[in-house]
Amino acid sequence: MPCISQFFGIAIYMYYNDHLPPHFHAEYSGSEALYEIGTLRIYRGELPRRAHVMVMEWADLYRAELMENWQRARQGQPLVEIESLEWKEGDTMKPEQLVRVRSVKVQEGFCVHLDFTDGTQKEIDLEPYLHGPIFELIKNDPRVFRSVHVDERMGTIVWDNGADMDPDVLYYGLQPAWMEMEKEPVLSAEAT
């Protein structure tokens, strides 16, 4: 599971095949927000005010660990759990609803049919996203690939070994960060 911390009903998680910028997902009482690790600003979504304050306090304390987990996820390595926050539970307000995966049906090869919470349906070839050690068994054993299912709490597809796909990558057709990082030019020592 990509859940890396939990406190006062707030779940913090990352996806292996996530998009840039480096970020984490925070979920509280049906609300979800994506926070950029570098700036700690909300990239998308919304949390109730007090839950947001707790997430900010926690993320400020563990920013280095969040970035380390981001790097591990990009490389397909297991994520490390981060300590929780000790504080009072927050209040609620109406959140922005993010689109998440409702159901998955395996098609031929590495293709899946996905139903999303907004009613959209898509067929997606997952083979390009099966990157890193966490996906090796999934890529090499069709039986394991076909065991994909939806984690209702996270709203995305997962496998029993903890591998997952970011629902934003699946819905919006975004590229996982590792794909985008492979495209970035490497500066030589002379150019810097």
20-58 residue pLDDT tens: 999 999 999 889 999 999 999 999 999 999 899 999 999
Q: Which residues contact 39 (CB under 8 A, 6 or more apart)?
A: none
Domains of the chain: 3-74 (no CATH), 101-182 (3.30.2020.10)
Q: Does residue 21 have a cis bond before it (omega within 30 degrees)?
A: yes
Question: Which two three-digit tokens encode residue 5?
Answer: 């911390």
Whether the pLDDT of residue 98 is over 90: the answer is no
- Listed in order, strand segments (DSSP E) in 2-158 are 3-7, 10-13, 23-28, 31-36, 42-46, 101-106, 111-116, 121-125, 149-151, 156-158
Q: How confident is the model at residue 2 (pLDDT cuts 50, 70, 90)?
A: confident
Tell me the per-residue pLDDT of 131-152, one tens digit each, with 9 for 90 and over.
999 999 999 999 999 999 999 9
Tell me the per-residue pLDDT of 3-21, one tens digit each, with 9 for 90 and over.
999 988 899 999 998 899 9
Whether the pLDDT of residue 64 is over 90: the answer is yes
Whether the pLDDT of residue 89 is over 70: the answer is no
Sign of the Cα pseudo-torsion (130, 131, 136, 140, in order)? positive
- Beta strands 42-46 and 101-106, pairing class: unpaired
Q: Which residues contact 117 (CB under 8 A, 6 or more apart)?
A: 97, 99, 100, 101, 102, 155
From CA 23, how far away is CA 19, in angstroms rounded?
Answer: 9
Report the length, in residues, of the chain: 192
